[in-house]
Amino acid sequence: MDAIALADTDDADAIAALSRVEIEDGLPWRWTPARVARAIANPAINVAVVRGGGGLRGFGMMRYADGAAHLLLLAVDPAHRRYGVGSALLQWLEAVALHAGIGLVQLEARNDNPAARAFYRRHGYRELAVVSGMYSGIKDGVCLERTLFEAAAAETHVVLHQGEVMDIKDIIRDNEVRFLRFRQGHLYYAVTVPGAGTDYLFPVPVADVGDATLHAREKAILFTRYIRQAIEAGSFVPLRPE
């Protein structure tokens, strides 16, 4: 599968055309090229695309806010389905939300589209309610949501040192994560590893950091992800005096 990229204005026509056929069939065409172009330019919205063979294979559009992210649109060209394009786009957009500290994704799907509803259920989304006439008073819609932090927390067991399997949650539980220094686009934090008797370092991209001390459960999950990445990369190392 070709790489996922952020859309540019040259993609607006193809995105709008795919939305008209695959999402808005039988409805008034609301996601016109002009509206898609405005979404691409909106800093609160990510429009991700998969291109290939000189055309658009699929796209996803997500709006990010403080409390939740909202998947506005997701569609794959019929000729390129069953190759993981839709799943890759959804997971890419979810990862952006999670790294931004957003733990809830909400979306709507047409009630008369069982394939789309099944797709979202396979990816962990729960159907909350059916809303009559959601789409222009013509078609019913289904509201769905997924809590990302719970999914991230489920994958926290790692092999740390000398083959010992540890849960990263045990590393950060009851331990303050302390900011130490900035270097090459990353903020470096230290946390005491239970049983190791020393502090360990891990880097966090500066753009993804809020407060330096963990308090909220959401930040604990984010730091869990970065500790896991540091362990896998071999950069979760004991703190040495400078």
Segment 148-205, tens digit of pLDDT? 866 555 554 444 444 445 556 566 655 667 777 777 777 777 787 766 667 777 787 7
pLDDT in tens, 130-160: 999 999 999 999 999 998 866 555 554 444 4
Q: Which pLDDT value is given to residue 211?
A: 45
pLDDT-derived band at 60 (thresholds 50, 70, 90) equals very high
63 contacts 45 by C-beta, under 8 angstroms: yes
CA distance 24 to 19: 6
Average pLDDT of the chain to the nearest whole number? 81
Average pLDDT over residues 52-67: 90
Above pLDDT 90, what percent of the chain? 47
HSE of 96 in the Cβ direction (CA atoms, 13 Å)? 22
Work out the average pLDDT over 104-115.
94
Of residues 229 and 78, more confidently modeled: 78
Alpha carbons 64 and 25: distance in angstroms, whole number = 26
Which tops the pLDDT comparison, 55 or 211?
55
pLDDT at residue 236 greater than cutoff 90: no
Answer yes or no: is pLDDT of 214 > 70: no
> How many Cβ atoms sit within 10 Å of the Cβ of residue 227?
25
List for the chain the helix, strand, coil content (%; round to 5). 35, 35, 30
Whole-angstrom CA distances from 219 to 44, 161, 171, 199, 205 are 21, 25, 14, 19, 14
Instruction: Give CA–CA dist 178/92, Å, rounded.
Output: 29
**Average pLDDT of the segment spanning 91-116:** 88
Distance (Å, rounded) from C-alpha 94 to C-alpha 103?
A: 9
Task: List domains and CATH numbers for the chain.
Answer: 4-148 (3.40.630.30), 155-238 (no CATH)
Q: Write out 88-142 in H/E/C secondary structure.
A: HHHHHHHHHHHHCCCCEEEEEEECCCHHHHHHHHHCCCEEEEEEEEEECCCEEEE
- Residue 196 CA to residue 206 CA, distance in Å, equals 27
Q: Tell me what the mean pLDDT of segment 108-132 comes to.
A: 94
